[in-house]
Amino acid sequence: MLLIRVKKLLRNKIIILLLISVAGLVVSVSAGLLWLDQQLSKPLNLPESPYVFTVGRGATLASLSRELEAKGVLSSALALRIFARYTGQQTVRRGEFELHHGVNSVELLSKLGSNDTIQHHLTLLEGWTFKQALVYLHSKTKLKHELKGLPWAEQKKALGIDVAHPEGYFFPDTYRYQSGESDVDLLRRAHKKLTRVLDQQWSKKAEGLPYKSAYEALIMASIIEKETAKDSERETIAGVFIRRIRLGMRLQTDPTVIYGMGDKYQGNIRRKDLKTATPYNTYVIKGLPPTPIALVGERSIYAALHPNDSGNIFFVAKGDGSHYFSKTLAEHNKAVREYQINKRKKNYRSSPKK
């Protein structure tokens, strides 16, 4: 009987201990959940509003939460990571984020996994050279400069473009980017768009053109781009150059001479410059220069592939941004006297104001 009473007493004691343990665990869990809720719902301690911070390449939620906790912005990195693990939100996106007063840890976590980053914009202009485009890109402080100072042989490896010369291979347009992206990222996009536009236009080209490839059409388009900024003239100028090629004439276009002069060009072309042989001096060479001479817009590509059959062989800048077109040398010489000699003014310009 005594043994039975002892067993009952021990069993009851174990049950009581288990109940106490469970109760303690429930209390601990409840306290933990309460703490977690408090940490997650508490507004972040932002030093200013808006507060801007950057998530760089390779950053993780763990490293980012510790950084924000060290800065006093986040009260508990642990609470954020527990909640992220529980809800499956552990991935953070690269970019520049903006936070405003009142946002809490839950809202921060949601933003870090979204595309809600600060977007920057830049515009590559028609008629720029690749060198000018790079200088412009490298003036943008939010863009990483991975190509700066590298020769083209190394730049093209970084870009994944296997071409001998960079000119003309990048489409002029307005591009969005976010902090952390690089000149490589942006130029890859510009090259991809140029290739797409050129392929599309080449597939719809007019019949009987003297181009051996889409690349030759791109070269012609770059010359058109530099000769005029007036859309109404592009097909007519294309027609002039196509007609000269068919007649065996030299193109004799100043923008190619200027490109061939490089840094020697100081704003004026002298008579000796027109006679100095370079691969780009179309007063000396026959046919097209070896590469494009500028970034090319879609209108100029279209014009190179759809020239105007007007019969004109010559044109001269009128000084107001437009050109006078002629079918004969006599008419052209008369136009030169009128627009280049007699009426030349201080405000003379070969392209229209933008």
- Phi and psi at 168, nearest 5°, equal 85, -5
Residue 97 is predicted with a pLDDT of 86
Residue 68 is predicted with a pLDDT of 87
Tokens 């019969």, located at residue: 311
For residue 353, the one-letter residue type is K
pLDDT band at 343 (very low <50, low <70, confident <90, very high): low
Residue 105 is predicted with a pLDDT of 82
State the maximum Cα–Cα separation within the chain, in Å, rounded to a whole number: 137
Is 174's pLDDT higher than 80?
yes
Number of domains in the chain: 1
For the ranges 26-30, 213-217, 272-276, 293-297, the lowest mean pLDDT is seen at 26-30
Tell whether 59 is covered by a domain: yes
For the ranges 16-30, 236-250, 325-339, the lowest mean pLDDT is seen at 16-30
Q: How many whole angstroms separate alpha carbon 165 and alpha carbon 155?
A: 11
Decide: 65 and 81 in contact? Cβ < 8 Å: yes
Tell whether 85 is covered by a domain: yes
Q: How many whole angstroms separate alpha carbon 227 and alpha carbon 127?
A: 9
Q: Which of 224, 243, 256 is nearest to 126 (CA)?
A: 224
| Count of positions (residues) in the chain | 354
Q: What are 37-54's pLDDT values in tens digits?
A: 677 778 878 888 788 888
Q: How many whole angstroms separate alpha carbon 262 and alpha carbon 57?
A: 38
Residue 218 is predicted with a pLDDT of 98
Q: Is the dihedral of CA 241, 245, 247, 248 positive or negative?
A: positive
Which one is predicted more confidently, 95 or 147? 147
How remote is the C-alpha of 222 from its chain's centroid?
20
Residue 287 is predicted with a pLDDT of 93
Tell whether 310 is covered by a domain: no
Tell whether 230 is covered by a domain: no
Which residues, at least 6 apart from 14, have a Cβ–Cβ distance to it below 8 Å? Answer: none
Helices (H), 88-129: 105-112
Q: What are 6-15's pLDDT values in tens digits?
A: 344 445 555 5
First vs last C-alpha separation in the chain? 110
Is 354's pLDDT higher than 80?
no
Tell whether 332 is covered by a domain: no
For 117-172, strand residue ranges (E) read 120-123
Tell whether 336 is covered by a domain: no
Which residues, at least 6 apart from 88, have a Cβ–Cβ distance to it below 8 Å? Answer: none
CATH code at position 60: 3.30.1490.480
Tell whether 58 is covered by a domain: yes
How many C-beta atoms surround the C-beta of residue 130 within 10 A?
21
Q: How many whole angstroms separate alpha carbon 161 and alpha carbon 188?
A: 9
Q: What are 232-280's pLDDT values in tens digits?
A: 999 999 999 999 999 999 999 999 999 999 988 888 888 898 889 999 9
Is 285's pLDDT higher than 70?
yes
Residue 118 is predicted with a pLDDT of 85
- How much is the average pLDDT of 135-163? 94
Tell whether 100 is covered by a domain: yes
Is 227's pLDDT higher than 50?
yes
Q: How many whole angstroms separate alpha carbon 171 and alpha carbon 160?
A: 16
How remote is the C-alpha of 33 from its chain's centroid?
47
Domain boundaries, position 113: 42-118
